[in-house]
Amino acid sequence: MPRVQFNRTIIYLPLSVFAVQGLLFLKKSLPKKSIFKRQFLSFATIFLLLLSLPNIYSQTKERFLGFQPPEQFDILVYPKKTLVEALRWLDKNSQEQDVVLAEPVISNLVPFISRNTTYLGYHIANLNYYQKQEKTLSFLNDILPETQAEEFLKENKIKYVLDTKLYLDLNAYPDLSTDLTRYKFLKPVYQNPDATIYKVTNN
């Protein structure tokens, strides 16, 4: 998963509400018109602010400096230009309902950039994810005989296969070695140095 998650800071909103309520509770608990009360609240506010400064500094530094060079981070954070170009080609030359088969993780980018349906989606929001992942890798690894591979595409109404080999570079799937040219029912329709898109001709 990417290290940048924009919803990560949402948790600070309820925590800040609880912090304010806690200070208000302390204010009511202390005697009115008390010098100690004013000093205590000032000290508590400054203490909490100082306590949060290291975290604020760390996160600010990470946002500006922590993601360089981009090649060393997850492809969901910094997708390669060639991958984006391939997905944009799909966006222009396919229908939204067309199902795309792609390797794990990269499948998460398909609906976002090309707006296509993807066979293998995000593991939390995808039923039978691990069974689908196994079938996807079996297909891309040429483990399936040609008749089974063809039936797999038909059963799942897959229209396009996106072959990138990008995770070979990232060592995430070292056994992934796709050679899809042997399948007669796949027609190459787009290619760049990092990505090849095949159209399924029998669907």
Distance CA 79, CA 108 (A): 11
SS3 of the chain: helix, strand, coil, percent, to 5: 55, 10, 35
The pLDDT value recorded for residue 69 is: 62
**Tens digits of residue pLDDT in 146-200:** 899 999 999 999 999 999 876 644 444 555 555 788 888 999 999 999 899 999 9
Distance CA 161, CA 101 (A): 5
Side chain identity at 147, as an amino acid letter? T
**Tens digits of residue pLDDT in 104-133:** 888 989 998 999 999 988 888 788 889 998
Q: Angle at the Cα of 140 (from 134 to 146), degrees rounded to 5?
A: 100
**Tens digits of residue pLDDT in 2-52:** 334 444 556 677 777 888 888 778 777 766 666 666 677 778 778 878 888
Which phi and psi (to 5°) does residue 188 adopt? -65, 125
Contact 103, 164 (CB under 8 A): yes
Identify which has the larger pLDDT, 99 or 28.
99
* Helix ranges (DSSP H) in 8-142: 12-29, 35-65, 81-93, 109-113, 129-140
Contact 124, 107 (CB under 8 A): no
pTM higher than 0.85 for the full model?
Answer: no
